[in-house]
Structure formats: C-alpha cells, structure tokens
C-alpha cells in the first residue's frame, strides 16, 4: 500500500537582465543577435591583461528586485570568482557572488527568498554538429541574476504560481523580459519527499526546464518516481542527483550523480572593487520609485472594477491589455458596464486573438461605443460579437457598422407588433401546434419575425410579443 509523502521544493531561478551592455564590458547585450560571436571583446573573451568594469545598471536592477520582494539590500557587497573549467566559460571562472550577495531574504507569494545575487552568463554551446561542437560567446558576460528560494514550497502548483509571479514582477520592474522559451529565465527545481514533514528527504535537482508547465509536470513526475522508490519492497533508495527534463517523453532522466560537492574555490575577485551600496545608490528613493507591482494591481482592480479574479489575471499577465482595459473601464465607469466589457475582452477578444494573429486591440473609444450599444440593447450579443470581430481588424466605428449591417435592434413595439401579427396570421398551423402545448413551436415564429424585420428586432422582445398576442 502506498504511503503518504510530504513534498518539499526549493527553486533556483536565473534571469538575464536587459541592460544595454554586458556585465563587465561594453559589448552589446542583445539576446536576439543571431550571428554568432559578434558581440564580443577582449574582456568577455578573457584575453590576458584585460580588466572587468561593473555594470551599474545591472546592480541597480538586482536592488530593484530586492526592494520589490521586501528583502534586505546589502550595504557591503562583493564579487567572487567561481572556478571551474568548461568551454563556455572563457576565463575558467565565472564572476559571481558568494558570501555577500546584493539581496538577502524577502518573500513572494508566501515563499521565502534566500538570496538574489548577480553574476555573468556563460557562452552557448552547440552540440548538434556530429563530431565537433561550436561555442557562441555573444551571451558570455551577459548580466544574470540568480534567485534562490528556501525549501518551503509544497506542491507543483505552488511552485508554478511562484515562478509565474516572479516572471511578472521582473517584467513590471522592467529588468528582464524573463522569457523562458528564449532562455532569459531558467528554472532549476530542487525536490524531495519524506514521510515525516519535519525531516527532509534526499533532494533531486531537475534542469532543462523550459516552461512553467514543464516545471509543474517535472515536479509531479518526480513525486511519483520517488514515491514508487520508497514504496517498493526491495529497499530502493532515492539517489541525490541532477536530472534532466525530457519534454518529448514528459519525464526526467539521470544526468549526473552528485559527486562530492563541487569545490569551486570561491574567492573575492581582486580585479573588482568592493561595493558599499548605500554610497552609490539612494535606496530609499529607489524604493519610492518602484512601479506598481502585480499584487498591488490585483488589489486595485478588485476594488475599483469588481471584476472576476480570472479576468484580473489576464490583465496582470498582459500589461498592455491591462492598460487598455483600464482606459475602457475608466470611460465606462458604471460597474455593470465594466463587467460586461471585461467579459467581451477576456472571452471574445482573447478568443479571436487566439485564432487570428492579425487581430489587435481596438481603439478604446470604439470598444466603449460597442459596450454602450450592448448595454442599451441596441444590438444583440450575437451582433456585438460580429462587430467586435471587425473592429479588431480595422478602426471602424461600431455604430456605423451596426447601421450598415442592419444590426440595430428595433425597440419600437408598435412597428414590431404589426410584423408579429402578420406572421401569426400567416402561420395558422404553427399557432395551432403552439396552443396545443408545444411551446417550442414559438421559435419558428420568432425566426420568421426576425427575418421579416431583417434582423433588427430584439429576439427576446419578439418572443414576449408573440406570447402576449397568442395568449
């Protein structure tokens, strides 16, 4: 029988900072450069006699992250050499931070942060050439922040929520595009299970994760795999190791067993000055200057607009959509109108966008005009959807489209009554069926009235009139 296990997860997350230049030299930091080895210089290629210079903007970015997470910003900080040999690391050491990271502590979504430090990215290797490999140094020396969480996450979902929230925070701060597919944000998952919540189990580290979905699946996979090991009756044990996520197989595989902890022989880099951050930055002013962050925006949207949480999340993830929604909501003002608008945005507009890449946000005022028509019952919801599908492709006025296409619903009961009576008179057999108890028969009469009115009648009004006249 399978036992209950308690899951523990800690994340190590790297994010490339979107500074103009690299971490320690003047080379362009361009993640989209496709030509290999063009953004390089003697410094990031580790030529003898060159000296690194700290990129102030990168340090500032990490401080901002720390402020956003409510962390402690170090007064004293320094860079260390992390020594190891690998072809993607030209100096045979990576400049990183060891004892004195820029940021310590902090919390996000209830997850405690251990630290955030600054380092340089490695080059990228290509091993798809058969008997040789290629190295592209464009990425070597790009500023990279590393955030480490405490082992306080207890489910795959909580890990996913944390990762997505951090991604949003980095984007709101404007310090990283944090795109996982592009490798601008990379997640390592540390996971263990144990019977006793107070005792940690053996930890496994999973790499090669390229989306949050993949991270959640990798965690689920590991929980199953490790539970099976502990449950079997052969006394199997979990091995402390690094595993890789295989996206095609949706499973993890062993990459390397943890040898004796790597000795990186860290020591402070003698080529770089030690930093006293409060002498370089006005931390309090930076704190005041932080932009609105996702959590604050969530609260504001909830209070000001009273829309669904799911809708709010769409606006949190997509800042452009959020800004546009705010413009619409602030023009409409009325809460019912805003709710209706939000429904059309999150289900209809986002739906159209999924299938039509050319669809773009309509001019806010045009969309407002459309919602006003819906609220006055001037058009049916079917008509509104049709108009929306048009105004996401060009900037036409919804009122004009509604008039041109004859989508304006007729509120004039007198005129409509005449048509209804005409249809009743012309269909004695259907009327008979209806009066005989087949209530559904009325729909065929509604259809005919709609046809007679060239679609301009309001279907619920037609039904009401029919019922009255047939009563």
Q: How far is the CB of 152 from ligand ADP (least distance, A)?
A: 7
Rounded Cα gap, residues 251 and 263, in angstroms? 30
Residues 177-196 that bind ligand ADP (CB under 6 A): 190-192
- From the number of C-beta atoms within 10 Å of its C-beta (0-12, 13-18, 19+), residue 333 rates as exposed
Q: Which residues bind Zn ion (CB under 5 A)?
A: 25, 27, 41, 43-44
Subset of residues 429 to 468 that bind ligand ADP, contact rule: CB under 6 A: none
Residue nearest to ligand ADP according to CB distances in the complex? 10
Residue of 18, 21, 55, 149 interacting with ligand ADP (CB under 6 A): 149
Q: What is the per-residue DSSP string for 65-77? A: HHHHTT-EEPSEE
- Shortest distance, CB of residue 83 to Zn ion, whole angstroms? 21
Instruction: Establish if 351 lies at the interface with ligand ADP (CB under 6 A).
Output: no
161 or 311: CB nearest ligand ADP: 161
* Helix/strand/coil (H/E/C) assignment for every residue in 412-463: CHHHHHHHHHHHHHHCHHHHHHHHCCCHHHHHHHHHHHHHHCCCCECHHHHH
Q: Show Cβ contacts of residue 160 under 8 Å, excluding neighbours closer than 6 positions.
A: 212, 213, 215, 216
8 binds ligand ADP (CB under 6 A): yes
CB of 96 to Zn ion, least distance (A): 17
**Residue 112 interacts with ligand ADP (CB under 6 A): yes or no:** no
Closest approach of ligand ADP to the CB of residue 88, in Å: 20
Instruction: Dump strand ranges (E) for 49-161.
Output: 72-73, 76-77, 80-83, 93-96, 103-104, 107-108, 111-120, 124-126, 134-136, 143-149
When the beta carbons of 41 and 375 are compared against Zn ion, the nearer one is: 41
Among 76, 84, 86, 200, binds ligand ADP (CB under 6 A): 200
Closest distance of CB 10 from ligand ADP, Å: 2
Beta bridge partners of 243: 206, 254
- Quick one: what does residue 25 bind among Zn ion, ligand ADP, none, with the CB cut-off 5 to 8 Å set by partner type? Zn ion
Of the pair 15, 25, the CB lying nearest Zn ion is at: 25
* 151 lines the binding site for ligand ADP (CB under 6 A): yes
CB of 158 to Zn ion, least distance (A): 39
* 8-state DSSP, 394: S
| Residue 44 binds which of Zn ion, ligand ADP, none (CB < 5-8 A, kind-dependent) | Zn ion
Q: Cα(366)–Cα(347) distance, rounded to whole angstroms?
A: 18
Strand partners, 145: 15, 118
Who's near 231: CB < 8 A, 6+ residues apart? 2, 3
Residue closer to Zn ion (CB basis): 41 or 272:
41
Cβ atoms within 10 A of the Cβ of 26, count? 12
Please identify, using beta-carbon distances, which residue of 245 and 301 lies nearer to ligand ADP: 245
Q: Where are the alpha helices (DSSP H) in 232-343?
A: 277-280, 283-288, 294-305, 309-317, 319-332, 335-343
Q: Provide the 10 A C-beta neighbour count for residue 169.
A: 21
**94 vs 149, beta carbon nearer ligand ADP:** 149
List the single partner that 342 binds among Zn ion, ligand ADP, none, CB under 5 to 8 Å by kind: none
Q: Does 11 contact ligand ADP by CB under 6 A?
A: yes
The answer to whether 372 contacts ligand ADP (rule: CB under 6 A) is no
Phi-psi domain of 266 (left: phi exceeds 0; alpha: psi -120 through 50; beta: other): beta
Closer Cβ to ligand ADP, 264 or 281, answer by number: 264
Q: At its nearest, how many Å lie between ligand ADP and the CB of residue 216? A: 15
Residue 10 binds ligand ADP (CB under 6 A)? yes
Neighbours of 377 (CB within 10 A): 13
3-state helix vs strand vs coil in the chain, percent to 5: 40, 20, 40
Quick one: which of 135, 148, 229, 389 contacts ligand ADP (CB under 6 A)? 148
CA-nearest of 73, 91, 69, 71 to 82 is: 91
Binding residues with ligand ADP: total (CB under 6 A): 14
Closer to Zn ion by CB, 34 or 263: give it. 34
Q: Min. distance of Cβ 240 from ligand ADP in angstroms? A: 8
Q: Check residue 107 for interaction with ligand ADP (CB under 6 A).
A: no
Report d(CA 310, CA 250) in Å as an integer.
Answer: 28
In angstroms, give the least distance from the CB of 84 to Zn ion: 21
The one of ligand ADP, Zn ion, none whose footprint includes residue 11, by CB under 5 to 8 A per kind, is: ligand ADP
Residues 203-222 that bind ligand ADP (CB under 6 A): 203
> In angstroms, rounded to a whole number, what is the distance separating the alpha carbons of residues 445 and 426?
10
Instruction: Tell me how far apart the alpha carbons of residues 22 and 195 are, in angstroms, rounded to a whole number.
Output: 46
Residue 458 touches which member of ligand ADP, Zn ion, none, C-beta under 5-8 Å by kind: none
Number of C-beta neighbours around residue 239 at 10 A: 12
Q: Which residues bind ligand ADP (CB under 6 A)?
A: 8-12, 148-151, 190-192, 200, 203
């Amino acid at each position: 029988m399978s036992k209950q296990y308690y899951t523990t997860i800690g994340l190590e997350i790297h994010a490339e900072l979107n500074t103009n230049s690299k971490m320690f030299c003047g080379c362009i930091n361009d993640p989209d450069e496709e030509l290999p080895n063009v953004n390089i210089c003697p410094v990031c290629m580790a030529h003898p006699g060159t000296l690194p210079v700290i990129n102030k903007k990168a340090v500032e970015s990490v401080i901002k992250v720390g402020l956003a997470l409510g962390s402690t910003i170090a007064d004293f900080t320094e860079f260390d050499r992390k020594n190891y040999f690998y072809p993607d690391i030209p100096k045979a050491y990576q400049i990183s931070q060891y004892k004195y990271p820029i940021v310590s502590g902090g919390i996000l979504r209830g997850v405690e942060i251990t630290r955030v430090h600054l380092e340089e990215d490695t080059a990228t290797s290509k091993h798809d050439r058969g008997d040789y490999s290629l190295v592209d140094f464009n990425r070597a020396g790009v500023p990279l922040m590393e955030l480490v969480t405490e082992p306080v996450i207890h489910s795959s979902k909580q890990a996913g929520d944390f990762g997505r929230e951090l991604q949003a925070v980095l984007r709101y701060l404007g310090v990283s595009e944090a795109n996982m597919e592009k490798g601008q944000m990379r997640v390592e998952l540390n996971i263990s299970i144990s019977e006793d919540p107070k005792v940690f189990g053996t930890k496994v580290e999973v790499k090669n994760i390229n989306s949050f979905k993949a991270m959640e699946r990798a965690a689920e996979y590991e929980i199953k795999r490790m539970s099976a090991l502990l449950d079997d009756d052969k006394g199997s044990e979990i091995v402390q190791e690094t595993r890789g996520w295989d996206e095609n197989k949706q499973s993890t595989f062993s990459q390397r067993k943890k040898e004796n902890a790597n000795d990186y022989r860290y020591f402070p880099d003698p080529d770089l000055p030690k930093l006293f951050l409060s002498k370089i930055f006005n931390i309090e002013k930076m704190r005041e200057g932080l932009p609105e962050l996702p959590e604050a925006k969530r609260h504001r949207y909830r209070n000001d607009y009273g829309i669904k949480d799911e809708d709010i999340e769409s606006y949190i993830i997509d800042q452009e959509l959020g800004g546009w929604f705010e413009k619409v909501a602030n023009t409409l003002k009325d809460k019912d109108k805003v709710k209706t608008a939000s429904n059309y945005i999150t289900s209809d507009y986002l739906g159209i966008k999924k299938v039509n890449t050319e669809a773009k946000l309509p001019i806010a005022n045009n969309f407002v005009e459309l919602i006003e028509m819906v609220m006055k019952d001037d058009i049916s919801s079917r008509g509104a959807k049709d108009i929306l599908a048009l105004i996401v492709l060009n900037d036409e006025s919804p009122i004009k489209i509604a008039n041109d296409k004859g989508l304006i619903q007729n509120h004039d009961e007198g005129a409509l009554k005449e048509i209804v009576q005409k249809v009743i008179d012309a269909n004695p057999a259907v009327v008979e069926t209806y009066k005989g108890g087949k209530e559904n028969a009325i729909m065929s009469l509604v259809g005919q009235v709609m046809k007679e009115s060239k679609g301009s009648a309001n279907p619920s009004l037609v039904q009401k009139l029919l019922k009255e006249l047939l009563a």
